[in-house]
Structure 1
Amino acid sequence: MLKNFFFTLIIVSLFFAGLEFILALIGVKPILQTEDPLVGFSKNIPLFEETRNSDGSVILESAPNKRAIFNYQAFPMEKASNAYRIFCMGGSTTYGRPYRDKVSFTGWLRAFLKNADQKRKWEVINAGGISYASYRVARLMKEIKQYKPDLFIVYTGQNEFLEERSYGDMLDIPSWVLEFNDILSNTRTYAAVKKGIDALRQDTPEKTKKRYQLSGEVDEILSHTAGPTSYHRDEKLKSQIISHYSLNMQLMINIAKEAGAKIIFVNPAINLKDMSPFKSEHKELLSKKELKKWQELYNRASILHKVGGNIEDALVDYKLALSIDESYAELHYRVGQVLFELKKYDEAQKAFQRASDEDIAPLRILSSMQKAVEDVASENDVPLIDFSRILREAYSREYNHAVFGKEYFVDHVHTNLDGYRLLGLTLFDELIRQGIAKPDETWNEERIKAVEKELTASLDAKALADVMVNLSKVLIWAGKFDEGRNAREQAIAMNALIPKEPGMNVEIGIILMKKGKTDEALNHFKEELKISKDNRIIEKTHLYIAYVYYNDNQFDEAEKHLRIVLKNNSSLYTAHAHLGTVLEKQGRIKEAHSHYTAALRINPDYELAKKSIETMAKKEEALDKKIKRFRGIH
């Protein structure tokens, strides 16, 4: 019986091996060499188009309708004999966000290569597209393979959850079936059978819709919502997206091989310490009693941590809350913050990573996806640059910890100039290791520093500051107020910010005020009043000016600005209440009481006015008692 089984197995294996050989001879290619079996696209919009120079030569340049999300790039259509053509693929990190190509890792690599090895004509092309996920990167590589690439460098994985997509009925298919499908997708037999079935199948419009097609260009979920509100926990979809990511990494390797090009993967790194989760949700089936207890512990720990400064007790309560629900991403982040403050850096790193992995809006690469990159690279013997390792080495040289944060990241995934430089230099070293680049004998550390100095000196400081201002807007829009203000602090630190946009001076003034620089803050607030025509911004500015003067005991000035606000908007209850506080400080009790009362007429639940009236009543009562005692004595 066993002998017959093995004999049958050998016959079947030989049959399929022969069939694969015949299909190869007639040009049938495995699906994973030609298409993504999980998604299609409604149309194809090429990144590069031909343009003829005045001398008649033809160049390929970024299409005008692509320049909003790609850096402008151009290279000769006819590749020179001594040229080495590198395409850097990926999303906004490859693009160089929040900056541009010049200081992206692509830009740094280009600068090092052109200065170190001038025997070759280096063509280092930035093909990073903002918000591009791996399936779009793979599709773009199919276009680029016709341009005679020598090397692809791929940095992708941060945008997999950015577009709304569905796998239709595939969500109901067990994971082992999908994995088997991935294996079959590498065979020519499967490709031939699938093509035959597709040709015979007559789909109804309803069935066609089930095989989800993405738009020709990126359509982000975030562009349709006020921040990441539309994201919800969906573990099944999450698992499918991760599988799809692995499949596309394999597809990229196949495309590179077909083009006769090498490929290098970069495993992405993320900001853990200084970027809280975008959205948190509790686990399903949490009882009302459990939720109430969890909230009590969470609130108490938050007060101990943020207000009381009692971080050890805060950690106890946070961990008790974890014992009730480990799914809430923000809770893990808070635990990480406490552990970091306690200098328990390894534990903090794990807590921050868990917070990122539990994020309901996973706009940072997940740890399971980083593992997938390692696995695909290892299985295919593809060189892998571990960006996290590079950053850990940099942190160990400069800091007493290696918990990634604002030291090298400007937001959730994009590094600062130093981070891009480090990655560019590491890729340059990898090309030397592979024998692709051969620096001349004068290349040394001093020349590396000279290249870095030259590139940095060519940057426009004002433009870089503006970049940080724009970044802060995006973060604030996404609900990241602390992170957004941190970005504006960096802009201010650059000493190149000339705020002209309405509302910008107010934001800067708030930051300066919190830093205790009230005179500078006041100057920004006053500057805002000169340029702003938006009544809401003007009101806000007068309120902050009044606040500054109040804290400086300049009550007359504070009163003046509050009355300006109320003259234009008498229904602003906060202004009434704050004016009441100023008048009370001046001893004008009846006037103060009238403004507190006015605030409560507009908003009966306004606590400041309620408590102020109660306090005034208690003071009057105490004063009456003193007067009565005084009269009784005399």
Structure 2
Amino acid sequence: MFLLILLGTIEGTAWLADSIWEFRRRLLVGYRQQAIDHQLQPTSSAQPAASPFTSPADLHNDDPRLFVRPHRDLPGTGGELVVGGRVIPDARHATEQEPLSADAEIATSGTQVFILGGSAAYGYPYNESDSLSGELRRLLNRPRAAGSRIEFSATRVHNTAYPGWNSHDLVPIANKIAADFQPDVVIVFAGNNEWVHWRTSTCLRPGDNTNPTKPEQFVPSDAPTANGARHVLTRLAHSRSLSAVQYLVFRWQRRQSLDSARDAHLAKFESTFRLHVELTGSTYALKHPEDLRRFDPQLWHNAKRRYLDEFRRNLVKIARTLKNSRVVLVTVPFNYRLAPAWNHRQPLASDTDQEASIRRAIALANTLIGDSQPGRALATLQAAEHPDCESPVLHYLKGECLVGLNRPDEAENAFAVCREQMVGHLGGRLSINREIRRASEDAGCELLDARELFDRVQAELGGHFNRDLIHDDCHPTPLGHHHLAIAIRDLLVSTTH
């Protein structure tokens, strides 16, 4: 009898509490939502995320008109441009083009200068007045210097470059210029985008099953069992005291489930490689190395060789198409300290036999650098080097060690090797410049070594690594464009065609 009175009191109190806090209603709503969530669980047929890059077909220029950058500054998009966590000073990050009339230009007296290239030649992300074309237009329209062999009065400078274009996209532009205009000088400043469309997926080993971007397969629980359990609990919830207990347990389980899902999401986010995380440094490259079990470096080298050969052929084709003009090929200056994993995961070694020893050396050297022991770190990295094994991250760390030892010239060379060995977009900088020199020789056209120019100007300014001349991954600053324009002006006025 006492037990019945106790249970009745508990149940009556529970009904009173339920009338205030509605435990049973909340519990039943939670069960219904849980059933819906189960039906909406993801499956293995999830589609991969769209590529952040523009496809080559989107960049193909088949418009019969010639478009150029406007000869005036236009309003920017507003807001700061942040690249790899760094604010780029004076950037306006907007791109525009407008059609150029061939008849109007041919009827105009004076020298016609055309610029071909990608975003660096376009002057992104700066104003037209701060770009190569704007600077060159001002310099070439100043009064002729004493002793100059060429008069550049009323010089027209047309910037046909556009962000994202590579040498393949420039060939039809050169054909338009040669066919419809009468160019006196053509400046080709290209080489940053030759393999911008390359993807790691094209260089995977046969039968790869370790693709980190592969969507996780969801293994559903036993749906009939789960539904049956919810049905029983729903029946028991008619008791308000039991529903209160069930609701508290349900809330605890739900919180645990949500916390687990959040932790899993954060872990997946941290393990997912993202573009343009850090502009300089090796932290992200060390956290997200490429896996040699899935990635074949030899396939990348084969692809890189094909890209380089095609690049040289395109430059020669452009120069020969414009054989009646002065053609100047410009080598590519670069940011020496660009982070290795700026665009792609980087393998710690190109040889699987050397990977383990290089991985250990890199880990130890990174610890020693953190402990302010660059000398010991450098010795560790040098001992692990192998002449037939590439490791962009190892050379980047060597550069950091040499910076710590106040040996900047050697550090610059180490960073340059890293930029050469980097896999994917913006890697192979030394090879690109070699092909530009070869194309100049093959086509018999003029060459301006912008890499050497930037190195010399930066040394005169004080400092290294083009820190004042390139603020982001590959685009010259207004100061860089200014010095490049001076060098081109001096080349044009001091030599004869």
* Aligned equivalent of 1:44, options 44, 58, 62: 62
TM-score w.r.t. the length of structure 1 is 0.46
Is 1:88–1:106's contact at 8 Å kept on the other side of the alignment?
yes
Look up the match of 1:227.
275
Q: 2:460 aligned with 1:415, yes or no?
A: no
* Aligned equivalent of 1:309, options 363, 368, 372: 372
* Aligned equivalent of 1:141, options 174, 178, 193: 174
Q: Given the superposition, is the C-alpha separation of residues 42 and 304 from structure 1 closer, same or farther in structure 2, using an over 3 Å criterion?
A: closer
How high is the sequence identity, in percent, across the aligned residues?
19
Q: In the TM superposition, what is the alpha-carbon distance from 1:434 to its structure 2 partner? A: 3.2
Look up the match of 2:347.
281
Look up the match of 1:267.
331
Q: Distance in 2 between matches of 1:49 and 1:242?
A: 27
Is 1:161–1:361's contact at 8 Å kept on the other side of the alignment?
yes
**AA partner of residue 174 (structure 2):** M
Q: Given the superposition, is the C-alpha separation of residues 404 and 232 from structure 1 closer, same or farther in structure 2, using an over 3 Å criterion?
A: farther
Q: Given the superposition, is the C-alpha separation of residues 76 and 255 from structure 1 closer, same or farther in structure 2, using an over 3 Å criterion?
A: closer
Q: In the TM superposition, what is the alpha-carbon distance from 1:365 to its structure 2 partner? A: 5.3
Is 1:60–1:75's contact at 8 Å kept on the other side of the alignment?
no
Is 1:270–1:364's contact at 8 Å kept on the other side of the alignment?
no
Q: Distance in 2 between matches of 1:120 and 1:360?
A: 46
245-254 vs 364-373, which moves further:
364-373
Once the two structures are superposed, the pairs formed by residues 530-569 of structure 1 within 5 Å of their partners are none
- Structure 1 runs not aligned, ≥5 long: 1-38, 51-58, 62-66, 169-224, 437-634
Is 1:89–1:127's contact at 8 Å kept on the other side of the alignment?
yes
Look up the match of 2:230.
none
* Aligned equivalent of 1:86, options 113, 126, 151: 113
Q: Distance in 1 between matches of 2:379 and 2:177?
A: 55
Look up the match of 1:344.
407
Q: In the TM superposition, what is the alpha-carbon distance from 1:149 to its structure 2 partner? A: 1.6
C-alpha RMSD over aligned residues? 3.5
Q: In the TM superposition, what is the alpha-carbon distance from 1:276 to its structure 2 partner? A: 3.8
Counterpart secondary structure, 1:116: coil
Is 2:362–2:381's contact at 8 Å kept on the other side of the alignment?
yes
Q: In the TM superposition, what is the alpha-carbon distance from 1:345 to its structure 2 partner? A: 3.2
Q: 2:142 aligned with 1:108, yes or no?
A: no
Q: In the TM superposition, what is the alpha-carbon distance from 1:41 to its structure 2 partner? A: 9.2
Q: 2:367 aligned with 1:333, yes or no?
A: no
Look up the match of 2:358.
294
Q: In the TM superposition, what is the alpha-carbon distance from 1:264 to its structure 2 partner? A: 0.9
Look up the match of 1:245.
311
Q: In the TM superposition, what is the alpha-carbon distance from 1:380 to its structure 2 partner? A: 3.1
Q: 2:120 aligned with 1:96, yes or no?
A: no
**AA partner of residue 165 (structure 2):** Y
Is 1:151–1:261's contact at 8 Å kept on the other side of the alignment?
yes
Look up the match of 2:452.
389
* Aligned equivalent of 1:154, options 188, 193, 211: 188
Look up the match of 2:254.
none
Look up the match of 1:131.
164
Q: Distance in 2 between matches of 1:416 and 1:363?
A: 18
- Residue deviations 1:423-464 (CA, integer Å, cap 9, x gap): 01111111211369xxxxxxxxxxxxxxxxxxxxxxxxxxxx
- Residue deviations 1:389-442 (CA, integer Å, cap 9, x gap): 22222133222x6x4232221112112211110001111111211369xxxxxx
Is 1:104–1:420's contact at 8 Å kept on the other side of the alignment?
yes
Counterpart secondary structure, 2:328: strand
- Residue deviations 1:551-576 (CA, integer Å, cap 9, x gap): xxxxxxxxxxxxxxxxxxxxxxxxxx
Is 1:71–1:126's contact at 8 Å kept on the other side of the alignment?
no
* Aligned equivalent of 1:120, options 153, 173, 181: 153
Q: In the TM superposition, what is the alpha-carbon distance from 1:378 to its structure 2 partner? A: 2.5
Q: Distance in 2 between matches of 1:119 and 1:342?
A: 49
**AA partner of residue 422 (structure 1):** H
Counterpart secondary structure, 1:125: strand
Q: Given the superposition, is the C-alpha separation of residues 364 and 130 from structure 1 closer, same or farther in structure 2, using an over 3 Å criterion?
A: farther
Q: Distance in 2 between matches of 1:252 and 1:106?
A: 20
- Residue deviations 1:581-626 (CA, integer Å, cap 9, x gap): xxxxxxxxxxxxxxxxxxxxxxxxxxxxxxxxxxxxxxxxxxxxxx
Counterpart secondary structure, 2:141: helix
Q: Given the superposition, is the C-alpha separation of residues 414 and 47 from structure 1 closer, same or farther in structure 2, using an over 3 Å criterion?
A: farther
Q: Given the superposition, is the C-alpha separation of residues 42 and 265 from structure 1 closer, same or farther in structure 2, using an over 3 Å criterion?
A: closer
Q: Given the superposition, is the C-alpha separation of residues 40 and 129 from structure 1 closer, same or farther in structure 2, using an over 3 Å criterion?
A: closer
Q: 2:430 aligned with 1:367, yes or no?
A: yes
Q: Distance in 2 between matches of 1:120 and 1:261?
A: 18
Q: Distance in 2 between matches of 1:42 and 1:362?
A: 19
Is 1:364–1:413's contact at 8 Å kept on the other side of the alignment?
no
Look up the match of 1:431.
492
**AA partner of residue 154 (structure 1):** V
Counterpart secondary structure, 1:384: strand
Q: Distance in 2 between matches of 1:418 and 1:94?
A: 14
113-122 vs 419-428, which moves further:
113-122
Q: Distance in 1 between matches of 2:102 and 2:305?
A: 42
Once the two structures are superposed, the pairs formed by residues 51-70 of structure 1 within 5 Å of their partners are 70=96
TM-score w.r.t. the length of structure 2 is 0.58
* Aligned equivalent of 2:103, options 77, 80, 86: 77
Once the two structures are superposed, the pairs formed by residues 415-494 of structure 1 within 5 Å of their partners are 415-434=476-495
Counterpart secondary structure, 2:312: helix
- Residue deviations 1:101-136 (CA, integer Å, cap 9, x gap): 221111100011123359732210011110111111
Counterpart secondary structure, 1:120: coil
Is 1:364–1:412's contact at 8 Å kept on the other side of the alignment?
no
Q: Distance in 2 between matches of 1:60 and 1:296?
A: 54
> Higher relative contact order at CA 8 Å, sep ≥6: structure 1 or structure 2?
2
Q: Distance in 2 between matches of 1:143 and 1:376?
A: 21
Is 2:350–2:390's contact at 8 Å kept on the other side of the alignment?
no
Q: Given the superposition, is the C-alpha separation of residues 40 and 131 from structure 1 closer, same or farther in structure 2, using an over 3 Å criterion?
A: closer
Look up the match of 2:235.
none
Counterpart secondary structure, 2:155: strand
Q: Distance in 1 between matches of 2:71 and 2:355?
A: 59
**AA partner of residue 103 (structure 2):** M
Once the two structures are superposed, the pairs formed by residues 566-585 of structure 1 within 5 Å of their partners are none
Q: Distance in 1 between matches of 2:424 and 2:193?
A: 11
Q: In the TM superposition, what is the alpha-carbon distance from 1:316 to its structure 2 partner? A: 1.6
Is 1:135–1:245's contact at 8 Å kept on the other side of the alignment?
yes
- Residue deviations 1:467-486 (CA, integer Å, cap 9, x gap): xxxxxxxxxxxxxxxxxxxx
Q: Given the superposition, is the C-alpha separation of residues 60 and 388 from structure 1 closer, same or farther in structure 2, using an over 3 Å criterion?
A: closer
Is 2:102–2:181's contact at 8 Å kept on the other side of the alignment?
no
Q: In the TM superposition, what is the alpha-carbon distance from 1:297 to its structure 2 partner? A: 2.4
Q: Distance in 2 between matches of 1:60 and 1:345?
A: 40
